[in-house]
Amino acid sequence: MLHTITQLSDVPRAHLDPITTFAEKLGVFALALSRPLRHETIALCCDHQQRGVGIFAFDSKLKLTQIIERIIGAAINIDSAATICLLSARQGAGRDFSDTSQFFMAKNRCQDAGLVLTDWFLVANGDTYTIN
């Protein structure tokens, strides 16, 4: 079982509680993360007050720059979505040398669509990485 991130005992409520800290974001992602760990990317959409308004999971081994259009397409269908925070799970693999450049390309693509990409977390067996 994956013990890299664990659920919060007090998870922020959708449309009510702001999700501002890394711990709160990871707590929400922990609820949606598949176990056992597999390749997937989860997008958490928040409004201007950082309250959760939607969460989407994409089962894919594709790099972030290859699926960002699908993520944006899902997020722009939520009227109040202003920001996106991502978590990608990689089964058995850690960081890739191109992760930072992928994040900035995805961030620019989100900005072009009127959204702000705030954070990208990577989860692999035994560790969690933050790219921002």
The predicted-structure confidence for 64-102, as pLDDT tens digits, reads as follows 999 999 999 999 999 899 999 999 998 776 788 899 999
Please say whether the beta carbons of 58 and 67 come within 8 A. yes
CA 58 to chain centre: 10
How far is the C-alpha of 90 from the C-alpha of 82, rounded, in Å? 27
Architecture of domain 22-131: 3-Layer(aba) Sandwich (3.40)
The predicted-structure confidence for 97-124, as pLDDT tens digits, reads as follows 899 999 999 999 999 999 999 999 999 8
Residue 129 sits at φ, ψ, to 5 deg, of -115, 145
- Whole-model pTM: value is 0.88
Instruction: Domain ranges for the chain, please list them.
Output: 22-131
